[in-house]
Structures are given as structure tokens and as C-alpha cells.
Amino acid sequence: MRILLTGCRGQVGAELERALPALGEVAATDRNGLDLSDPDAIRRVVREARPEIIVNAAAYTAVDKAESEAELAMQVNGVAPGVLGEEAKRLGALLVHYSTDYVFDGEKRSPYTEDDAPNPISHYARTKLEGERAIAASGCRHLILRTSWVYGPLATNFYQVIARKAAAGESMRMVHDQTSVPTPASFVAKYTVALLRERANGLLHLVPLGTATRYEFAREVIRAMGSKSQVQPARTAEFPAPARRPTYSVLDNRKAATLLGAPLPDWQFLLHAVISEWTRA
């Protein structure tokens, strides 16, 4: 089976590049090999590769910067997935694409299901929702996986901020009024492969079990690292940012778990496991 992977230098893409060979031959591209802001380049790369599966792990992920780079963010997150969908449709290929909990406005206080209506409150989130809709409109076979608070050892992310401070024994303040599900990039890659083996399709929420505020996540990272750092709760309003975040964006993963035949692991268990793995590496 031929698989085309985009965004192989990103935190999810790097994990996918390791996991996807279990399914077939992988042609991996990064930003230098495929600029998703260029529709002609997308068409050329896909037509040369002639994949049976396209896994799009590339994205514009700078949530705050998207407010000032609105056109570029929309081109990469909103337009490019539709072009990939058109090419997948032409080839009869399956398109796997990743989206975000941020498509929801955070007004709900129970986990969001795949049937809940999105209502993005930032430009970044609007671009991600547009990407979902463009793929569906293309008519291609697709698997869209929404995930949340993704972290890993390679890219700048919320975990890395906490881990650096914890390693230095620094105190920190973290917001306690944003709640979601911390998700390791390796988890996303592992269960993408598992879902592909089950021939999953459509829209699924792919996150671990449980919920956490950013404050609770920071406390667990500190505990897992054996650090003596202290963390104090704070409010989002104390850290002004260009883009709004939903206060509650927990995703319900029961549909994915049913397809896989077992509950997904808890975020705390996964956090301790990946920190232990990274420490040994």
C-alpha cells in the first residue's frame, strides 16, 4: 500500500512517519518538499506519488499568529485540505486529516461529540473547520480526526514550556479555567494506524480518557518529572492573547473506542509513560 504523508517534521507527522510503515510504503514530505499554500504543488506531489492513502499531518498551528496571518492560515488549513480531497477523490484514495477541539466555542460543560455543532471563536479554529468542510465537500473517502492539546518532545508546545521550568526548578502560574484533554503525539499516530486497520471513516474524536485544566496538567508533569517546582493557578484573563480559546473543549472519544473495541487509555497514564520514554532516550 502506498501512503503519502505530509508534515513529517511536525510533532504528529514525525510520529506518523515511524508508525505508518506498519501499513505500507510511506513517501514523507515536509514543508520544503510540499508547500500547502500552493495548490498546484499539492496536485503535482499527489499525482506523482499516486498514493492509496494520504495522511495530512501538515497544518498552520500558530493559534495567535493566525489572527494576523489570516490569509496564509486559511490557505494551509482551509483550502489545502480541500485540494487534497479533490486529488484523493480523483485517485480513489483515502484522505486522513487532523482537526482540533478548538472548532467548539467552549460553552458546553460535558464532552463534545461528533454530532455537536461547531462554533469556532478564533481565526485558527475557523480555518480548521473550513478544512473539515472542504474535505467533506470534495466527496473523497476520508477520516477526519479531531484531537486536543497535542504535545511531544520535538516541537514548541505547552508541555515543553512546563517541562523546561520544571527541569530548572522554577515556579510557574498556569491557567485553571481552560479544560480539555492533553494528548501525546505518539498516541495520535498509534491510534491513527489502529483506526486505519479497522477501516474507520468519517469524523472521529481521537483523545485519551479524562480531562484536565492547564494547571492540572502542569502539576502532573511536575510530579512525573520528580521536580520540586511549584505551580499556582491563574485565570486566562491574566495572560492576554490575540486569539480566544474555548474554556471547555473536552472531546468525547467513545465512538473511536467502540470502533477499536476497547476504551482508550487515560491521559495521566500516557503522560507518565511518554515522560519515562523520553527520559530513557
Residue 142: inside a domain, yes or no? Answer: yes
Residue 222: inside a domain, yes or no? Answer: no
Could you tell me which residues come within 8 angstroms of residue 156 by beta carbon, excluding any fewer than 6 positions away?
none
Dihedral, CA atoms, 272, 274, 278, 280, nearest 10 degrees? 70
Residue 168: inside a domain, yes or no? Answer: no
CATH of the domain at 81: 3.40.50.720
- Residue 204 is predicted with a pLDDT of 98
Residue 164: inside a domain, yes or no? Answer: no
The amino acid present at 69, given as its one-letter code, is E
Full DSSP string of the chain: -EEEEE-TTSHHHHHHHHHGGGTSEEEE--TTT--TT-HHHHHHHHHHH--SEEEE------TTGGGTSHHHHHIIIIIHHHHHHHHHHHHT-EEEEEEEGGGS-S--SSPBPTTSPP---SHHHHHHHHHHHHHHHHT-EEEEEEE-SEE-SSS--HHHHHHHHHHTT--EEEESS-EE--EEHHHHHHHHHHHHHTT--EEEE---BS-EEHHHHHHHHHHHHT----EEEE-GGGS--SS---SB-PBP-HHHHHHHTSPPPBHHHHHHHHHHHHHH-
- Residue 281 is predicted with a pLDDT of 62
Parent domain of 10: 2-152+183-208+250-265
Task: Identify whether the C-beta of residue 268 lies closer than 8 Å to the C-beta of residue 210.
Answer: yes
Residue 124 annotated as catalytic:
yes
Catalytic residue chosen out of the listed positions 60, 112, 124, 215: 124
Residue 67: inside a domain, yes or no? Answer: yes
- Residue 262 is predicted with a pLDDT of 96
Residue 175: inside a domain, yes or no? Answer: no
Residue 214: inside a domain, yes or no? Answer: no
Task: Identify whether the C-beta of residue 58 lies closer than 8 Å to the C-beta of residue 6.
Answer: yes
Residue 56: inside a domain, yes or no? Answer: yes
What is the chain's pLDDT, residue by residue, as a tens digit (281 residues)?
999 999 999 999 999 999 999 999 999 999 999 999 999 999 999 999 999 999 999 999 999 999 999 999 999 999 999 999 999 999 999 999 999 999 999 999 999 999 999 999 999 999 999 999 999 999 999 999 999 999 998 767 899 999 999 999 999 999 999 999 999 999 999 999 999 999 999 999 999 999 999 999 999 999 999 999 999 999 999 999 999 999 999 999 999 999 999 999 999 999 999 999 887 76
Count of other CB atoms within 10 angstroms of residue 44: 13
Count: domains in the chain = 1
pTM of the entire structure?
A: 0.97
